[in-house]
């Protein structure tokens, strides 16, 4: 066989990678039908399947030369992937931090994948990069950042936080020899992805101070300032304060305005993790509690939580774009055609990624096809649902929820003063998981086992909250 024949033969062997119009439409329609059926029955489905045997069908299909038709693929998917575990698309998902995944986000992903625009560098896709930067502008405006910021759409809150921490490190030009004397201040309620970020960023040798919290688990700013002053007296280098606009565990918002005054006065970097709470800024009802977000130097929000988009999108914004750019840009010879930083900042110069998922489209498409009004309403509905749950749970005999929610997480206990309180509450969680209609998770607050409800799926309405209240009432009797 000569070269030409060999090439022809390989072209033919690989040709199924480009299905013809008929095959394309057949497979696509099967996937669409499956999705429509999935969505149509979603509200009757459980939010949790704890005891299914996961993945059996999947395991029987190793990756190799054999291939399956679309019907079989969908049936493996349904049985092995869709079924077991938490149904994160369900409105009954009230554990961890839900979101739901609005349908139009999936349409954005479909378009992005088919057109496969390269969204890393302005030269490669000016429209895609502009779209991302417009979304960053919109979020920055919502937070209250003015001119001079820059940001990046990431895969989620964890990577967004990592980018924020690395940027703070570069902004203060920290060197290895400085770390022992450099101090980080944070709430014990800080999300654990920030512990990971600090380690990944090579900063674990820094001194770490846990700031005292007030009764509502918010950072005590007087204690923060005392700690900073003590460290200064010791000749240390106070560097970074990390606060949360909505802690994952209890949903409380740190006093950002006051923290901003302290960091400004002492010239520390203020990093704000608003992955959970950031998009509550959309509603007037949360304006007061979220006052001061704009005082941060870097901020993280998570559109796959508070904007209800499908998993895979977070955002970081840094108030001074120079720092974000300095920390994440690098030039390579083979990129010389693409250098045009003056026209528009490129995502590849603002994050560790070069080639990336064109994730702007999964955010832009829902926002542009629906407008922001329904998102505002939905976020506000969650606030009111949490208040409703707080009020109603305290009416059920035996249950106590101490603190009114700042946002949409409520912590509560069954018989908190009973010596068997932990046992009883664990049994209630177990029963809820066995039932499966609603999923909630538990946590420990100050060492004490606590029940926790987090309302943030766009599909969670009064109906789901009422089902949960009914379950809690019934199961309390049973334990």
Does residue 251 bind ligand PLP (CB under 6 A)? no
| Count of chain residues binding ligand PLP (CB under 6 A) | 14
Does residue 248 bind ligand PLP (CB under 6 A)? yes
Answer for which of 151, 157, 416, 436 binds ligand PLP (CB under 6 A) is: 157
CB of 265 to ligand PLP, least distance (A): 26
The whole-angstrom separation of Cα 211 and Cα 268 is 15
Q: Is the dihedral of CA 442, 216, 232, 201 positive or negative?
A: positive
Residue placing its CB nearer to ligand PLP in the complex, 352 or 398: 352
Does residue 249 bind ligand PLP (CB under 6 A)? no
Answer for which of 109, 273, 294, 464 binds ligand PLP (CB under 6 A) is: 273
Which residues are CB-neighbours of 336 under 8 A, at least 6 positions away?
Answer: none
The whole-angstrom separation of Cα 241 and Cα 250 is 20
Order of strands across the sheet with 448-454?
399-400, 409-414, 448-454, 441-445
Alpha helices in 144-220 (DSSP H): 157-171, 192-200
Which residues are CB-neighbours of 147 under 8 A, at least 6 positions away?
Answer: none
Which stretch, 171-179, 269-277, 330-338, 364-372, contacts ligand PLP (CB under 6 A)?
269-277
CB of 159 to ligand PLP, least distance (A): 7
CB of 235 to ligand PLP, least distance (A): 33
Q: Which residue is nearest to ligand PLP (CB)?
A: 157
Contact 244, 187 (CB under 8 A): yes
- 397, burial (CB in 10 Å: exposed 0-12, middle 13-18, buried 19+): exposed
- 426, burial (CB in 10 Å: exposed 0-12, middle 13-18, buried 19+): middle
Does residue 275 bind ligand PLP (CB under 6 A)? yes
Which stretch, 68-76, 150-158, 368-376, 403-411, contacts ligand PLP (CB under 6 A)?
150-158
Order of strands across the sheet with 237-244?
150-154, 314-318, 298-301, 269-274, 237-244, 182-186, 207-210
Using CB under 6 A, which residues numbered 307 to 326 contact ligand PLP?
314
Question: Hey, what are 259's tokens?
Answer: 């923290």
Residue placing its CB nearer to ligand PLP in the complex, 158 or 351: 158
Q: Is the dihedral of CA 242, 245, 246, 248 positive or negative?
A: negative
Which stretch, 78-86, 270-278, 331-339, 418-426, contacts ligand PLP (CB under 6 A)?
270-278
Which stretch, 35-43, 261-269, 271-279, 388-396, contacts ligand PLP (CB under 6 A)?
271-279
Answer for which of 91, 95, 108, 156 binds ligand PLP (CB under 6 A) is: 156
Which residues are CB-neighbours of 347 under 8 A, at least 6 positions away?
Answer: 119, 120, 121, 129, 132, 152, 153, 353, 356
Q: Which residue has the tokens 């840009």?
A: 329
Q: What share of the chain is helix, strand, coil (3-state, %, to 5)?
A: 50, 15, 35
Residue placing its CB nearer to ligand PLP in the complex, 150 or 162: 162
Residue placing its CB nearer to ligand PLP in the complex, 57 or 196: 196
Does residue 276 bind ligand PLP (CB under 6 A)? yes
Answer for which of 47, 74, 97, 324 binds ligand PLP (CB under 6 A) is: 97
Which stretch, 152-160, 226-234, 333-341, 352-360, contacts ligand PLP (CB under 6 A)?
152-160
Does residue 298 bind ligand PLP (CB under 6 A)? no
Residue placing its CB nearer to ligand PLP in the complex, 80 or 247: 247
Residue placing its CB nearer to ligand PLP in the complex, 165 or 428: 165
Tell me which residues touch ligand PLP (CB under 6 A): 97, 156-158, 161, 191, 193, 244, 248, 273, 275-276, 302, 314
């Amino acid at each position: 066989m000569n070269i030409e024949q060999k090439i022809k033969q390989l072209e033919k062997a690989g040709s199924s990678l480009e299905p013809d119009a008929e095959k394309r439409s057949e497979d696509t329609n099967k996937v669409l039908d499956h999705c429509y059926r999935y969505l149509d029955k979603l509200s009757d489905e459980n939010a949790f399947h704890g005891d299914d045997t996961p993945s059996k069908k999947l395991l029987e299909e190793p990756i190799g030369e054999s291939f399956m038709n679309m019907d079989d693929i969908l049936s493996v998917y349904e049985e092995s992937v869709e079924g077991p575990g938490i149904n994160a698309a369900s409105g009954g998902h009230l554990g961890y931090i839900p979101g739901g995944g609005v349908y139009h986000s999936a349409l954005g992903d479909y378009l992005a994948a088919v057109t496969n625009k390269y969204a890393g560098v302005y030269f490669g896709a000016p429209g895609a990069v502009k779209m991302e930067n417009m979304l960053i502008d919109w979020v920055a405006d919502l937070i209250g950042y003015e001119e001079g910021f820059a940001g990046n759409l990431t895969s989620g809150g964890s990577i967004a936080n990592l980018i924020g921490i690395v940027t703070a490190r570069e902004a203060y030009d920290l060197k290895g020899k400085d770390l022992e004397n450099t101090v980080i201040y944070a709430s014990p309620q800080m999300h654990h992805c920030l512990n990971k970020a600090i380690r990944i960023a090579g900063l674990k040798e820094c001194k770490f101070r846990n700031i005292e919290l007030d009764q509502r688990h918010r950072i005590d700013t007087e204690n923060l300032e005392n700690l900073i002053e003590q460290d200064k007296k010791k000749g240390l280098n106070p560097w970074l304060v990390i606060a949360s606009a909505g802690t994952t565990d209890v949903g409380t918002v740190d006093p950002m305005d006051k923290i901003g005054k302290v960091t400004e006065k002492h010239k520390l970097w203020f990093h704000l993790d608003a992955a959970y709470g950031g998009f509550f800024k959309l509603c007037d009802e949360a304006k007061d509690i979220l006052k001061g977000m704009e005082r941060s130097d870097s901020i993280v929000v998570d559109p796959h939580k508070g904007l209800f988009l499908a998993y895979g999108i977070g955002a970081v914004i840094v108030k001074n774009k120079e720092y974000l750019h300095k920390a994440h840009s690098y030039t390579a010879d083979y990129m010389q055609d693409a250098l045009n930083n003056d026209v528009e900042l490129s995502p590849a110069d603002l994050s560790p990624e070069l080639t990336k998922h064109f994730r702007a489209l999964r955010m832009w498409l829902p926002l542009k096809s629906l407008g922001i009004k329904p998102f505002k309403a939905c976020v506000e509905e969650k606030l009111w649902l949490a208040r409703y749950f707080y009020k109603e749970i305290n009416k059920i005999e035996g249950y106590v929820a101490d603190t009114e929610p700042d946002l949409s997480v409520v912590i509560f206990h069954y018989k908190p003063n009973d010596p068997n309180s932990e046992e009883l509450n664990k049994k209630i969680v177990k029963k809820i998981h066995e039932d499966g209609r609603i999923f909630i998770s538990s946590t420990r607050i100050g060492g004490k086992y606590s029940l926790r409800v987090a309302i943030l799926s766009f599909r969670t309405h009064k109906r789901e909250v009422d089902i949960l209240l009914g379950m809690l009432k019934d199961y309390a009797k049973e334990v």
